Amino acid sequence: MKQVRVGIINATGYIGMELARLLQRHPRVILSSITGRSAIGQKLGEVLPHLADIELVIQPHLGDVDLVFSALPHKSSAEALLPALEQGIKVVDTSADFRLKNAEDYQKWYEFTHPGPQFLEEAVYGLVELNRTDIASARLVANPGCYPTGALLALAPAVKEGLIEPDIVIDSKSGVSGAGRTLSLNTHFSEANENVNAYALEGHRHLPEIVQELGKLNPGLSFSVTFVPHLVPMNRGILTSCYAKLTAMKGTGDKAKERLMKLYAEFYRDEPFVKVLTVPPRTKQTWGTNLCLIHPTIDLRTGRLIAISCIDNLMKGGAGQAVQNMNLMLGFPESMGLEGAAIYP
């Protein structure tokens, strides 16, 4: 059975180390090259003892690979990936650098001029449940952001079927690992512990990504989205609550709720990593997995859709989804290397 040589750019960040953890046991992958912004010249297993089985040395530059993951921050990721793209190497980018189709949006939302705008149209948005066919034939996949993953999966069935008005409120709460491994005041233990705060009220960087992909689901609507993220004192996980006024749902009362549940269950019927639940999910129920758990219901007093989703931000919101994309790009079974159950409690 032929194996594929895979590399990770920046294997010492949270997403990078999760990728290494998943890939070291993937039956069709040889993790053959890793880079880092720190600890160059050291073995990854020495720097990260939980990955002690990986004896690869962290290098300043990537070696020969068939597919590369980039786990660098925005701007740095696109710059590092341009040589691989010009050589025709398959790429999965976990940063935001190829998610948006309009190059000018990077100046507005990320405050940099995109170094490779010629690749934006080619890039496929890597939300597998919505773009599976295109991902399978892609050579450049833009792994979705953690917040958009939870929000889009929660809203997709209702938006696709035209059940809601385009004025949508999204409330998301994320664990601290979503901020990355670089030290900052807001993620300092004394600041984050026993504390919850909303941030980016003027517009989070993931907002244009959410609006862009909602528009693809239902091009006839012009979406107005209020997105408010929150930092909560836990290591990992995202709980997203979405609200929108219903415009079309047959039946009343519990019958309407049953119809909504049936619609969501049918939409995700064959999806290995999306489960539609009859009760609201909890973040720990996805801990360490590539699952997205969704609970749709109706506020009968106001006629609003309420759709709740939970993911692990480092897995379905990051490395797990990236491996899912890789599997499709290389023709492997989609769930290969991602079959583990959640660790609970």
User: 139 is written with which tokens?
Assistant: 């050579």
What is the per-residue DSSP string for 45-78? HHHSGGGTT--PBPBSS--S-SEEEE-PPTTHHH
Q: Closest by alpha carbon to 306, among 227, 245, 232, 234?
A: 245
Q: Report the distance separating Cα 147 and Cα 173, nearest Å.
A: 9
Q: Which of 146, 242, 292, 310 is catalytic?
A: 146
Cα 190 from Cα 308, distance rounded (Å): 30
Residue 242: strand, helix, or coil: strand
**Structure-token pair, residue 71:** 């786990």
Dig out the tokens for 73 from the structure: 């921050």
Is 292 known to be catalytic? no
Contacts of 36 (CB under 8 A, 6+ apart): 10, 11, 12, 16, 44, 47, 58
Catalytic residues: 146
